[in-house]
Amino acid sequence: MVDAGLLDATVQGLITGSIIAGGALGLSLIYNIAEVPNFAHGDMITIGAYLALVFNNPGEIPFLPAFGSAPLVAAAVVGVVLAGVLGATYELTIFRKFRKRDADIITMVIVSLGLALVLRNVVLFLVGSKNIRYQSASVSNTNFDFLVTGGGMTVTTTQRQAGEVVTTGQWGYPWWLLVGGLLVAAAVGYGVYRAYRREEGFDTVYLVPPKILGFTVAAATVIGLGAFVQLAPQGTDPIVATRIGLSIKHLTIIGVVLAAMFVLNVALKTTKLGRAMRATADNMDLAEVRGVDADRVQLLVWVIASMLAALAGVLTGWFATNLTPNMGFTLLLPIFAAVILGGISSPYGAVAGAMIIGVSMDVSVYLLPSHFATYRVAVAFLILIAVLMVKPEGLWGDV
């Protein structure tokens, strides 16, 4: 039996971080472009999760007939689209009016607080406070045991099937492959970085910053080599051993959030509207002078952010296996911490902040005595406060 260790806590932290990142992406857009520190964002996450529930599991909602259940993916798509419509409603009925009155940031905070109160209680009013689940196929964890032995590394995968722990695979990497693979990955990553980097200029806009691209390619090389070059096991007598528990669910969550980040990034950097959004974020008056329709940009921001929030909501509900009217609000603090930590100006910053928050939450729970498990959010906050004391504008801040 191999114990889950620091590595597992880190991986769990990345998954937690992905869920936080889903919310942080949308919040950073609203914070940066609409200049609303949106305290309703947590409840927009809740709304999104329940919108998908309407199509996935309508029998659980008191006033709805059980009209059958759509698969979670389809329900999520419909829910996300509907959330976008709601986002337009918030902008048109509330935030646009306040912006026309030049409301200051404090007023916006309190307006969003009022909206949060309304949204949470609408869910409570319609659905009640009981815990509800999505109808989805149950996914079983696969445990990857990594055993570092004298000859290299052995990987054993086990899975619980019908109550029995079954070994589903065993393979290994000798030392030369481990070292060589890492070197190759580092070389490939650095090569991509060098090839992609251009002369820094006034108008240099990278679709993906070279450092991030190089690092991603290196990581992908390691994972690719590990997945495809599986040699004979290198013994089962470990010097060091650790276990990581993963499932398709976890990978899907990470994948969906990274994809959302990438799509948002491409949209912001290559489309005309995206450029208009970035210009508005920079200086709304100047953007308007150059012919940017600020109202349209703000509308779009709220729609996109609501859709991202709904996506995060569905992922949270699916990951935590139940939905409660408070699910979003409990996520709000880590999301804010992530956005401020990453600096409110870029989607990459938000995701990086979310990953830092997520990993530090789960790793600290692993490192601290079990009594401290309830202080996960506190850890996120202590990090935020510590960073703000040193750098009041956030790690990649713009202020």
Smaller CB separation from another protein, 233 or 349: 349
Name the one residue in this structure whose structure tokens are 């990034």. 265
- The span from the CA of 108 to the CA of 216, in Å, is 38
Residue 129 within binding range of another protein, rule CB under 8 A: yes
Smaller CB separation from another protein, 292 or 380: 380
Tokens of 102: 């030049």
Shortest distance in whole angstroms from residue 398 CB to another protein: 12
- How do beta strands 142-149 and 240-246 pair? antiparallel
Out of 70, 83, 115, 315, point to the residue binding another protein (CB under 8 A).
115
- The span from the CA of 312 to the CA of 171, in Å, is 36
Name the one residue in this structure whose structure tokens are 């039996």. 1
Mask 5-44, x = binds another protein (CB under 8 A)? --------------------------------x-------
Cα-Cα end-to-end distance for the chain: 51
Shortest distance in whole angstroms from residue 386 CB to another protein: 9
Smaller CB separation from another protein, 115 or 241: 115
Tokens of 264: 């948002």
Out of 66, 81, 110, 195, point to the residue binding another protein (CB under 8 A).
110
Out of 173, 336, 348, 366, point to the residue binding another protein (CB under 8 A).
336
Smaller CB separation from another protein, 115 or 292: 115
Shortest distance in whole angstroms from residue 345 CB to another protein: 14
The residue range among 79-87, 112-120, 147-155, 276-284 that interacts with another protein, by the rule CB under 8 A, is: 112-120
Instruction: Confirm if 387 and 58 have CB atoms less than 8 A apart.
Output: no
Residues in region 84-103 near another protein by CB under 8 A: 94, 97-98, 101, 103
Shortest distance in whole angstroms from residue 63 CB to another protein: 11
Closest CA to 214 of 186, 176, 233, 183: 186
Residue 23: alpha-carbon gap to chain centroid: 7
Smaller CB separation from another protein, 11 or 281: 281
Mask 364-393, x = binds another protein (CB under 8 A)? -------x--xx-xx--xx-xx--xx--x-
Shortest distance in whole angstroms from residue 388 CB to another protein: 6
Smaller CB separation from another protein, 275 or 391: 391
Q: Quick one: 363 exposed, middle or buried, by C-beta within 10 A (0-12, 13-18, 19+)?
A: middle
Smaller CB separation from another protein, 187 or 385: 385
Q: For Cα atoms 376, 388, 208, give the angle at the middle one, nearest 5 degrees.
A: 85
Instruction: Confirm if 367 and 12 have CB atoms less than 8 A apart.
Output: no
Residue 258 within binding range of another protein, rule CB under 8 A: no
Out of 77, 333, 363, 395, point to the residue binding another protein (CB under 8 A).
333
- The span from the CA of 205 to the CA of 379, in Å, is 35
- The span from the CA of 158 to the CA of 3, in Å, is 13
Name the one residue in this structure whose structure tokens are 């319609």. 126
DSSP H or E run through 73 = helix 72-90
Instruction: Confirm if 343 and 393 have CB atoms less than 8 A apart.
Output: yes
Smaller CB separation from another protein, 40 or 82: 40
Residue 187 within binding range of another protein, rule CB under 8 A: no
Smaller CB separation from another protein, 192 or 301: 301
Provide the 8-state DSSP code for 5: -
**What strands lie across the sheet with 164-174, from one edge to the other?**
164-174, 152-161, 142-149, 240-246
Out of 113, 188, 294, 363, point to the residue binding another protein (CB under 8 A).
113
Q: Return the beta strands (E) in 137-271 as ranges.
A: 142-149, 152-161, 164-174, 240-246
Residue 106 within binding range of another protein, rule CB under 8 A: yes
The count of chain residues that interact with another protein, using the rule CB under 8 A, is 42
Which residues in this chain contact another protein in the complex, by CB under 8 A?
37, 94, 97-98, 101, 103, 105-107, 109-111, 113-118, 120-122, 124-125, 128-129, 333, 336-337, 340, 371, 374-375, 377-378, 381-382, 384-385, 388-389, 392, 399
